[in-house]
Amino acid sequence: MRKLLCIAALLGVVLLVGSGTWADDKSNAAEEKALKARAEEFIAAFNKGDAKAMAAFFADDATLVNPAGVKGKGPAEIEKIIVSDVAAFLKDTKMDMTVTQFRPVGKDAAWIEIDHSVTGAKGPDGKPLPPITFHVPTLMVKKGKSWMIAEARPYAYLPPPPKPVAAAPAAKK
């Protein structure tokens, strides 16, 4: 009897949690398409160097933590970070973004993973850098008919660690 009650409770939790998600694959596909279109709009603003337009993609209570660990809350602070980044290491760069994962979270939210490539960056010495790839985990929220960024954390993967070196054989005595 106890086992049956546990199974019933678990089933109830699954149904309760599942009821808050999008109804079917068609609506998921439509929302994923809308998010990808929104990413294209952001790319256009980035490639114009328009910090104000980029900041407008963020919700009023959004948080951005850039790859250097600088944190901004809300569009005004986020715009300051973008202005600083575009004036420094992102000056005269171009970018591309690809949504690599889409996961609905509740009715009006989605978790997306983005691969973000930047070309044309220069190092502190002014010399061109190779293309840079950032990974951007992002929480999106739907406000009215528009998808807005609620949380974004762009970062670059570290290079893989070197393979371990085999230990030298012990010296014979």
Q: Is 26 exposed, middle or buried, given 0-12, 13-18 or 19+ CB atoms closer than 10 A?
A: exposed
- pTM score of the predicted model: 0.75
- At 11-50, the pLDDT tens digits run 333 323 333 444 456 677 888 888 889 988 998 998 898 9
Report the pLDDT averaged over residues 139-145: 93
Do residues 156 and 133 touch, judged by C-beta distance below 8 A? yes
- Supply the pLDDT for residue 73: 97
- Supply the pLDDT for residue 5: 31
Distance, CA of 30 to CA of 40 (rounded, Å) = 15
- Supply the pLDDT for residue 23: 45
Report the pLDDT averaged over residues 111-132: 90
- At 70-90, the pLDDT tens digits run 999 999 999 999 999 888 878
Euclidean distance between the first and final Cα of the chain, in Å? 70
- Supply the pLDDT for residue 3: 35
Distance, CA of 58 to CA of 156 (rounded, Å) = 21
Report the pLDDT averaged over residues 158-170: 81
The domain 22-152 is classified under which CATH number: 3.10.450.50, 3.40.50.620, 3.55.40.20, 3.90.79.10? 3.10.450.50
